[in-house]
Amino acid sequence: MINYILLIISIILFLIGIKYSTRNGIITKSKSIIISMIATCFLSYSFFFLFSDYITGNGVDYPVIYFLNDTFVGIGFRECCILILLIISIGIINFILVYSIINRLICKTGSKKIKAGKLGLIFYLFALLSLISSPTTYGYFKNIYMLKSHEIRDKGHKMKSKHEVNRFIAHAGGKIEGYTYTNSLEALNLSYKIGFRLFELDIIKTADSVYVAAHEWEHWQEMTGYKGEIPPNRATFKQQQILEKYTPLDIDDINDWFKDHPDAILVTDKINSPSDFSKLFIDKNRLMMELFTLDAVKEAVDANIKSAMPSWSVVSGIKGNKVQTLVDMGVTNIAASRRVIKYNIPLIKSFTKAGIKIYVFHVNHDKGKDEAYVVRFDMDYIYGLYADEFDLSYF
């Protein structure tokens, strides 16, 4: 929104500057030239951010929010001052370029009949072209990207030294042979082997009320080719291989696997009955549950599981002081879509300050927004992520 306001301001200033700085088609008044130069600076500022999404992949709203919080892409006050000076410099350079071209064209043609409005339009179009094509603009985009990369690389070294594998949750068991959402035994084994220690499974019930791991029944049908009625009973569920080669998991299988992997933690999705499920799972101290109502969160806290994780929809529905409400309840983790970050920076900062860690999902759902992107650009605000793959080279 700030970008577009600045863009409108710059257009208005351009038109005012051109109107009062043209006489017989030639720019003459120094005061109006200054107005137009200021307008070009505004234009450079707004387009700097509007184009940053394509150059750095950092999202249009992100740099504006970072800048207003004096933490632009994680760099310090000195770099922010350099940024401001560069924006002004770009504006001045672009103005001089456009001013020279316009006057040269008019003088060369000898035209004395170009109206102020038309000249204003020509001036504005040339300003756009000069800004878009400016090597200075693109050069600084690259510098910002490099600064961010160095910062994340440094952060990565710190994370590796602390062995913070608890930042990464194997989403639906993790990816296996290019497949996601299998919730299978083989996916768990592979994810454990490559370094995961937190494992998310989608938990739903069969027709005979047995907890099993599957994303949803329609999706399960597609992955197994099952043609019967859904939900199936436990026996039928166990007979269906996933994608004709992966082993399905019921609650007994889940307990057996976590018994054999005592350092592994289960993170559940879909299920919203913490008291019932926690009684059946092998170890409450290794159970984290994403939950979808405030009552379920309270129930999970009372059940004394490792972590009752309200989904962001629950957080959004809390009236009054959201942070204090969750702190008072004993909540230490939140599950949220990574898409909510840019709209809730101040609130997320407050949660972090209060010791509440946020894990984000919807990784790989938007083009280019994979695990590497989240680590590079979202980790300043959130604690961890639901990942399909885990690779230390991301750091």
In this prediction, residue 250 carries a pLDDT of: 98
Residue 384, Cβ neighbours under 10 Å: how many? 21
pLDDT tens per residue, range 195-224: 899 999 999 999 999 999 999 999 999 999
319 pLDDT band, cuts 50/70/90, is very high
Q: What is the pLDDT of residue 236?
A: 97
Write down the pLDDT at residue 150: 44
DSSP 246-277: B---BHHHHHHHHHH-TT-EEEEES---HHHH
DSSP conformation class of 231: S
| pLDDT on residue 366 | 86
**Can you tell me the mean pLDDT for 298-314?**
97
Higher pLDDT: 56 or 381? It is 381
- Domain segments of the chain as ranges: 2-158, 163-394
The pLDDT tens digits for 1-40 are 444 555 565 556 555 555 554 444 444 445 555 555 555 5
pLDDT grade for 54, boundaries at 50, 70 and 90? very low
Q: What are phi and psi of 357, to 5 degrees?
A: -95, 140
Across 125-144, average pLDDT: 49
Q: Are 358 and 352 in contact (CB under 8 A)?
A: yes
Residue with more model confidence, 342 or 80: 342
Most confident of the following: 43-57, 99-113, 137-151, 325-339:
325-339
Q: What percent of the chain has pLDDT over 70?
A: 57
320 touches 291 (CB < 8 A): no
Residue 80 has a pLDDT of 58
Instruction: Please say if the pLDDT value at position 368 is more than 60.
Output: yes
- Residue 96 one-letter amino acid: I
Backbone angles phi, psi at 384, to 5 degrees: -150, -175
> What is the C-alpha separation between 63 and 58, in angstroms, rounded?
7
What's 125-192 look like in SS3?
A: HHHHHHHHCCHHHHHHHHHHHHHHHHHHHHHHHHHHHHCCHHHEEEHHHCCECCECCCCCHHHHHHHH
Whether the per-residue pLDDT at 353 is higher than 90: the answer is yes
Model confidence at 369, pLDDT cuts 50, 70, 90, reads confident
Which tokens belong to 13?
């200033």
Q: What is the arithmetic mean of pLDDT over 112-134?
A: 50
For the stretch 260-298, pLDDT in tens is: 999 999 999 999 999 999 999 999 999 999 999 999 999
- The reply to whether omega before 274 is within 30° of 0 (cis) is no
Of 51-55, 100-104, 347-351, which range is least confident?
Answer: 51-55
CATH number for the region 163-394 comes to: 3.20.20.190
What is the CA angle 280-194-168, rounded to 5? 65
The segment with the largest mean pLDDT, out of 1-10, 302-311, 344-353, is: 302-311
pLDDT at residue 315 greater than cutoff 90 = yes
Task: Judge whether residue 61 has pLDDT over 50.
Answer: no
> What is the pTM (predicted TM-score) of this model?
0.64
